[in-house]
Structure 1
Amino acid sequence: MVKPKGQKGRRSVWWWVHHWLGLKLALFMTFVLLTGTLATVAHEIDWLADPAIRVMPRDEAQASWGAWAAAVQAAAPEAEIEALNRPLEPWFAASAVLRMPDDSRRIAYVNPWTAEVQGVSTWFNAHRFLRFTHRHLMLPVKWGLPIVCSMALVLLASLVTGLIAYKKFWRGFFRLPRWHAGRKGEARRFTGDLHRFAGLWSIWFLVLIIATSVWYLVEWGGGQAPPQPRPEVVTGPAQPVGAELDALIATARAADPELRITGVRFPGEKGRGVIVEGQARAVLVRERTNTVQIDPRDGAVLLTTRGEDLNLHQRISEMADPLHFGTFGGLLTRLIWFVFGAVMTGLSVTGVMIYALRMKRAEDEAAIGTAPWLWRSLGPAAYPSAALILLSLALTPMVAAGFGLG
């Protein structure tokens, strides 16, 4: 190997590191990015796959929370209602998470206007599959999460080395990919231009994903924020429905008029009150930070929590998921996250294509197809990457059957 000299040589070293990281780990990186991208629209995938989730929006008031719960209880009297959630979008049904007598979970979908149960489906749907696969590869969380989140360090190194190797990279923001049909080597040139152009415009998104993924690693390593308080209540498996639940909802609204209710968590046998949660004044926090917790025995308010009262550590923790998956702005932000996630997935693929096309042209352009070169370019790292992907898929039936390892 010729030793690089001068500024050009230093750039070549940075390019080599960028190329090596992106190439050797491309298969596993693509899988992680692809599952994360699809996870941003997983609820929409379920909506397309399951007719029970779909409703026709109406210009009238929806039925009450109590009516939804009563309908679910009538449709599945043997089940325990764990949670009740409002529709994600106007064309979605309301949903209830059920704990069945055999300890499995189901989801009941309720028409929010008629309070009719439209169907009861498996809890392990597309959303759960993509969530578990992307987060921890269906492995125990303590093993799978650090494997997945370590890819953030690879992304960080790829970002830094790519910017250093791309001389005066800021000029490339408005340099469109070139394409001249019929010119020799044009596919490689166009792929390289597209890779750089897309990479530059997705820097903000890449930094965001890296930061949140590193935070997940911090939490895995013991840096979790302290949980919010949960008062214990001596109560049995209370299932307030109908007028009883509506009275509790009215109490919650009186206790916190700014609370936009998105869900209700029932006591079950967990020694807690009914938790009414949602969004309020604080931005970029999960619904669980804004709650009114009520004793189901007498309707007394036990505790109210607000997102703006979190300390800095807790606020960072609650921001991670909304920023990582783009859930904070509804369907619009999730679609933006989906588009840029697809771009990042494409960057992983085009990086391999650039190298494969270059090597294919260098040896014998007509001797072998591009596809075998894509696999050969990955080198020995392709085998453990493929093994992790196949293991995740092989564990899926076990997790779906209720014998999850996470």
Structure 2
Amino acid sequence: MGKANARKGRSLWWVVHSWIGLKLSIFLTFILATGTLAVFAHEIDWLVTPSMRVLPRAEPVASWGTLAEAVTRTSPDARLQTLYAPIDPWFAAEAWVSHGQGAPERIYVDPWTAEVTGRHGWANVHRFLRQVHRHLMLPTKIGIPLVSSLALLLTASLISGIVTYKKWWRGFFRAPRRGDTRRLTGDLHRLIGLWSLWFVAVIALTGIWYLVETLGGKAPVPEMPQVAAGAPPVGTRLDRLVAIARRSDPKLDIREIRFTPDHGVILLGQSSAWLVRDRANGTAIDPATHRVIARLDGRDLSVHQRISEMADPLHFGTFGGLWTKIIWFVFGAALTAMAVTGTMIYATRLAKVAQRHGNGWQLAWRGMGIWGYISIALLLMALALTPGAIGGAS
């Protein structure tokens, strides 16, 4: 009786696993693929945008103030909003400037010579991949819950895969069997799944967190004191503020400077707290009085805030630089391959039936039912919305 119940339980979990893998295979594959590419979105932009590319040098880089001065000199009628440090030594520094209406413009500056290397509109590869992966170009209140809900199904798929794979812990070094497409595809699917267990868990948990945030569970954001608005400081004026911020927190590695109209100049980056976004550490300074009006320290975050700040670095693997991004890209590609091989398994299982009623892929499409049409419609809608969406505000 016990064995019969166990078999029945595994059979139920198999139905769950197959339903998720087949019905939502198109939508799931698209989200996984765009998320995988998003890991290297900045690098893809670097490849296709010559002005982002610079030659690393041995000498010290130009000061923040010098970079900001070069930006305002190039675009004197625009307001400097944000200045970003280079992602890697071969990247240019990036500034966002506002012309009063529409989306910001990007200006790239050589971090060593402080020469402007080029200008670019708001739309780029990073913007496309970020928005299509995060909310399908839909309004965020609709798109984020829609995409994040896949994390629940990914969790169910993870559990059902473990339950239905008998003695799964023995399969880590089991080579895929050859000679039969169905057997080979199934073995590859299980092998990739085993080695990706930790990665699926990370992606699923962070995805569930994004869903929690959209349903009202956002962590509180630190309030900033109001200061009088003024022109963004550049040159030596900005360098003085940078020096004040570094005295305030000697460990602060400044990665971003925000020139706000109401909260002064906010210098953000990485400091003592590990595995948090740049915005978790920083110093806000009143440029008129040089007074530190707020300090941000990732070590002082509540548990709720810490989870929120950990989500992005864990989801995209950016916390360890290039090496962790490579790991996340490889496992993201493996997870995408699992979504594809899952559909292949279903198609090859129907090979005998296909000989009489059409090929396996046609039957797989029929097996998706209305979910296949819904998935295709969502993807087409996202592509149709792209021109207007990625040209809008951040």
Q: 2:330 aligns with which of 330, 339, 343?
A: 339
2:226 alignment partner, SS class? coil
**2:246 is aligned with 1:253:** yes
Which whole-Å CA distance do the structure 2 matches of 1:370 and 1:169 have between them? 28
Match of 1:183 in 2: none
Q: Deviations over 1:368-388 (max 9, x none)?
A: 555434433422210011111
**2:62 is aligned with 1:63:** yes
Match of 1:110 in 2: 109
Mean CA deviation greater in 102-111 or 6-15: 6-15
1:328 alignment partner, SS class? coil
Q: Deviations over 1:177-222 (max 9, x none)?
A: 1113xxxxx1111000000000010000000111111111111111
Q: Deviations over 1:281-334 (max 9, x none)?
A: 101111111111110112111121110011111111111111111111111111
Match of 2:9 in 1: 10
Q: 1:156 to 1:245 in 2, by over 3 A?
A: same
Which whole-Å CA distance do the structure 2 matches of 1:277 and 1:122 have between them? 24
1:175 alignment partner, SS class? coil
Which whole-Å CA distance do the structure 1 matches of 2:389 and 2:69 have between them? 30
Write the letter of the residue equivalent to 1:104: A
Which whole-Å CA distance do the structure 1 matches of 2:236 and 2:139 have between them? 42
**How do 1:388-399 and structure 2 match up within 5 A?**
388-399=378-389
2:287 alignment partner, SS class? coil
Name the TM-score, length of structure 1 as normaliser: 0.93
Q: Is the 8 A contact 1:98 1:108 kept in 2?
A: yes
**How do 1:217-232 and structure 2 match up within 5 A?**
217-232=211-226
Q: Is the 8 A contact 1:355 1:377 kept in 2?
A: no
Which whole-Å CA distance do the structure 2 matches of 1:209 and 1:41 have between them? 16
Match of 2:286 in 1: 295
- Work out the percentage of aligned pairs sharing the same amino acid: 53
Per the TM alignment, residue 230 of structure 1 is displaced from its structure 2 partner at its CA by 1.0
**2:268 is aligned with 1:277:** yes
Write the letter of the residue equivalent to 1:383: Y
Which whole-Å CA distance do the structure 1 matches of 2:187 and 2:21 have between them? 16
Which whole-Å CA distance do the structure 1 matches of 2:336 and 2:51 have between them? 32
Q: RMSD of aligned C-alpha atoms?
A: 1.6
Match of 1:359 in 2: 350
Write the letter of the residue equivalent to 2:380: L
Which whole-Å CA distance do the structure 1 matches of 2:363 and 2:109 have between them? 51
- Alignment length (residue pairs): 392
Match of 1:73 in 2: 72
Per the TM alignment, residue 136 of structure 1 is displaced from its structure 2 partner at its CA by 0.7
Q: Any gaps of 5 or more consecutive residues in structure 2?
A: none
Which whole-Å CA distance do the structure 1 matches of 2:24 and 2:6 have between them? 28
Q: Deviations over 1:222-275 (max 9, x none)?
A: 111111131111223x211111111111111111111111111002x3x11100
Per the TM alignment, residue 5 of structure 1 is displaced from its structure 2 partner at its CA by 4.7
Match of 2:311 in 1: 320
Which whole-Å CA distance do the structure 2 matches of 1:161 and 1:96 have between them? 47
